[in-house]
Amino acid sequence: MKKFAIVEDNIIVSVICTKDFALKMGGIEISDDSIDVGDKYIDGQFVKVGKPTKIVTWDEIRQRRDELLCDTDWTQLSDCQLSEEEKEQYRIYRQALRDLPQQYENPNEVVWPEMP
């Protein structure tokens, strides 16, 4: 399964497996499975960092979470073209996003759920 990185200020802030959505968000295809959130993307190359490169605050986590929820609002509309199974997968994903602040004590340890 292909993975795509969402990069802000040369830091991978999200990894997405849905190609169309990732490309819409400006995602960059990842060929190295070890690359993940917190690693860098510099001069067209992924750089493994291993530890977060900046301190993340709960406000930043909530802002990113709210953006991801907003981006998937359409999946829960009654006239959405997704199957009931796909809608349920998105419902579970969205609930996992909502639960993030309660799941972790340290915002730098947050592991983002994978979008269906």
Q: What is the pTM of this model?
A: 0.55
Using DSSP bridges, classify how beta strands 3-8 and 40-42 pair: parallel, antiparallel or unpaired.
Answer: unpaired
Q: Which two tokens stand for residue 27?
A: 């995602």
Chain position carrying tokens 């406000």: 59
Specify whether 47 is located in the same domain as 14: yes
Specify whether 64 is located in the same domain as 105: yes
Specify whether 62 is located in the same domain as 116: yes
Looking at residue 52, what is its pLDDT?
53
Classify burial at 16, counting beta carbons within 10 Å of its beta carbon; exposed 0-12, middle 13-18, buried 19 or more: buried
- Looking from the CA of 36 toward its CB, the CA atoms found within 13 Å total 11
Show the domain range for 47. Answer: 1-53
Specify whether 46 is located in the same domain as 59: no
Specify whether 23 is located in the same domain as 77: no
At residue 21, φ and ψ (nearest 5 deg) are -65, -45
Looking at residue 3, what is its pLDDT?
85
Looking at residue 24, what is its pLDDT?
77
Specify whether 20 is located in the same domain as 64: no
| CA neighbor of 73 nearest in space, from 55, 59, 93 | 93
Specify whether 33 is located in the same domain as 84: no
Specify whether 13 is located in the same domain as 65: no
Looking at residue 79, what is its pLDDT?
92
Looking at residue 1, what is its pLDDT?
66
Mapped onto helix, strand or coil, the DSSP state of residue 75 is: helix
Torsion of CA 61, 101, 82, 33, to 10 degrees: 60
Specify whether 83 is located in the same domain as 97: yes
Mean pLDDT per 10-residue run, the chain (116 residues)?
85 82 81 84 85 77 93 92 94 95 89 90
Specify whether 5 is located in the same domain as 47: yes
Specify whether 10 is located in the same domain as 37: yes
Specify whether 42 is located in the same domain as 8: yes
The number of domains in the chain is: 2
